[in-house]
C-alpha cells in the first residue's frame, strides 16, 4: 500500500478559524471524515500540502427543521442522519439512501458534506437531495452564498468550491402531504458496495394527477443529474403503471453513461438498468404519495 504523502495538519475549533486557515494556506484542503480524501491522497488522485480538519467544528453538525425547511450541517455523519427521527419522518428517501452508503464504519466517519463535495457521479446522497430540491450554503471569509445542489458538481470528482470556501449546510423544503419519494440503487452485492447506478424520484399527486415531479440519476452522467425531459413527460398526467412504464423506458435514450472501459459497468448495461430503476423509483414514490394523503 502506498504511504500517505507528507502534509501539515490543522485542527480549528470554529468555522471562522477554519475559513481563516483555508484563506491563508497554500494548497490546503478541508477534511472531515476523510473516508474519500485520504484514499485519493494515497492514490495520487488528489494533492494537498495542508489539511484543515473540521472534525472539531461542532457548529457544522446539526439536523433541524426551521421555517418549513430541513437544515443539515455539512459535518453531520451518515449515522446521525440514519438515527434522526426528523429525517425518518420528513425525508425518508434520504434515510433510505444513507443506509446504503459504505459500511457501518464508513457511515460513522463519513459526512454528508464530504459525500457531496467529493462529487462522485454515483454519490448515493446526491439523487435524493436533488429530487428534494436541495440547495447548499457555501461560506468564506468574504461571506456566504447559496446555490442549488446541482451547481455544486463540476464533473467527476470535481466541485465548484473555491479554495477558500467550505460547504456549511444542506437544506430543502419539508415535503407536503400528497408527496412521496423513493431511492433505488444497483450494486454488485447487497451491502457495502459502490453504485453501478442509482436513481431517485419525487412526486406530488392529487387523485393520482401528477402536480410536481423531480427525478434524478447517479452514475449515468459525469455528475449526479436531474432529468427534466422525464419530468416533463409526467407533469400533469394521471399516473398509473402504464404511464410510468412508458416514461421509464424513455430513460434509455436520455441518460449519458460513461463509455470508458474501466468503469464498473458498461454504458449499455446502465442504459438498460436506468429504465428499471426509474420505474421502481416512480412506482414506489407514487405509493408513498397515495399513503400520505
Residue 1 banded pLDDT, cuts 50, 70, 90: low
> Residue 61: which H helix or E strand, with range?
none
- Domains belonging to the chain, first-starting first, are 8-53 (3.30.43.10), 58-173 (3.30.465.10), 179-292 (3.30.390.50)
CA distance 90 to 85: 8
pLDDT of residue 264: 74
pLDDT of residue 46: 84
Residues linked to residue 158 through DSSP beta bridges, in sequence order: 155
Mean pLDDT score, 190-195 = 75
Mean pLDDT rounded to a whole number for the chain: 94
Answer for the pair 202, 284: CB distance below 8 angstroms, yes or no: no
pLDDT of residue 191: 66
pLDDT of residue 263: 66
CA 124 from centre of chain: 6
pLDDT of residue 231: 98
Q: Is 68 exposed, middle or buried (0-12, 13-18, 19+ CB in 10 A)?
A: exposed
Between 264 and 27, the more confident residue is 27
Assess whether pLDDT exceeds 60 at residue 262.
Answer: no
Residue 190 banded pLDDT, cuts 50, 70, 90: low
Residue 107 to residues 44, 100, 226, Cα–Cα distance (Å): 24, 9, 25
pLDDT of residue 36: 87
Residue 214 banded pLDDT, cuts 50, 70, 90: very high
Mean pLDDT score, 187-205 = 87
Answer for the pair 76, 64: CB distance below 8 angstroms, yes or no: no
The percentage of residues in the chain with a pLDDT greater than 70, rounded to a whole number, is 97
Amino acid at each position: 500500500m502506498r504511504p500517505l504523502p507528507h502534509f501539515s495538519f490543522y485542527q480549528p475549533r470554529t468555522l471562522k478559524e477554519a475559513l481563516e486557515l483555508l484563506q491563508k494556506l497554500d494548497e490546503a484542503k478541508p477534511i472531515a471524515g476523510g473516508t474519500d480524501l485520504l484514499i485519493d491522497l494515497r492514490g495520487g488522485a488528489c494533492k494537498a500540502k495542508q489539511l484543515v480538519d473540521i472534525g472539531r467544528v461542532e457548529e457544522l453538525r446539526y439536523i433541524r427543521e426551521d421555517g418549513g425547511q430541513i437544515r443539515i450541517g455539512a459535518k453531520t455523519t451518515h449515522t446521525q442522519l440514519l438515527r434522526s427521527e426528523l429525517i425518518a419522518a420528513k425525508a425518508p428517501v434520504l434515510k433510505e439512501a444513507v443506509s446504503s452508503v459504505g459500511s457501518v464504519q464508513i457511515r460513522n466517519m463519513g459526512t454528508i458534506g464530504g459525500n457531496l463535495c467529493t462529487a462522485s457521479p454515483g454519490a448515493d446522497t446526491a439523487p435524493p437531495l436533488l429530487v428534494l430540491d436541495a440547495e447548499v450554503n457555501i461560506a468564506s471569509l468574504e461571506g456566504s452564498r447559496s446555490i442549488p445542489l446541482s451547481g455544486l458538481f463540476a464533473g467527476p470528482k470535481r466541485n465548484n468550491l473555491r479554495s477558500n470556501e467550505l460547504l456549511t449546510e444542506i437544506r430543502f423544503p419539508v415535503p407536503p402531504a400528497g408527496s412521496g419519494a423513493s431511492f433505488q440503487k444497483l450494486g454488485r452485492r447487497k451491502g457495502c458496495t459502490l453504485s453501478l447506478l442509482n436513481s431517485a424520484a419525487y412526486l406530488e399527486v392529487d387523485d393520482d394527477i401528477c402536480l410536481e415531479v423531480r427525478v434524478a440519476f447517479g452514475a449515468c452522467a459525469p455528475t449526479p443529474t436531474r432529468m427534466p425531459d422525464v419530468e416533463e413527460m409526467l407533469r400533469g398526467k394521471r399516473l398509473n403503471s402504464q404511464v410510468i412504464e412508458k416514461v421509464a423506458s424513455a430513460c434509455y435514450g436520455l441518460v449519458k453513461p460513461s463509455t470508458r472501459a474501466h468503469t464498473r459497468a458498461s454504458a449499455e448495461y446502465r442504459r438498460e438498468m436506468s429504465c428499471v430503476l426509474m420505474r421502481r423509483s416512480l412506482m414506489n414514490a407514487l405509493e408513498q404519495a397515495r399513503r400520505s394523503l
